[in-house]
Amino acid sequence: MSTFITDGSTSFPRLTHTNYAEWAMRMEAVLVRQGYWDLFLEDAVSGPLDPKELKDVKRRMAEARASMILRVDDSQLPHMVDPNPKVVWDTLAKVHRARGFGSRLHLRRAFITATMTEAPEVKEEEKESVAMAASATSKRGANVVCFSCGELGHFVADCKTRIKHFKMHETIAAKASLEDAEEENFAF
pLDDT per residue as tens digits for the range 166-180: 676 677 666 666 666
Residue among 34, 160, 15 at smallest CA distance from 74: 15
Percent above pLDDT 70 for the chain? 66
3-state secondary structure 52-105: HHHHHHHHHHHHHHHHHHCCECHHHHHHHCCCCHHHHHHHHHHHHCCCCHHHHH
Residue 77 and residue 65: Cα distance in Å, rounded? 11
Integer Cα distance of 63 and 58 in angstroms: 9
pLDDT digits (tens, 9 = 90+) for 73-86: 999 999 999 999 99
- Burial level of 103, CB count in 10 A (0-12/13-18/19+)? middle
* Residues 94-118, mean pLDDT to the nearest whole number: 76
3 state SS of 168:
helix
Q: pLDDT tens digits, residue range 35-78?
A: 998 888 866 666 677 889 889 989 999 999 999 999 999 999 99
Global pTM exceeds 0.85 = no
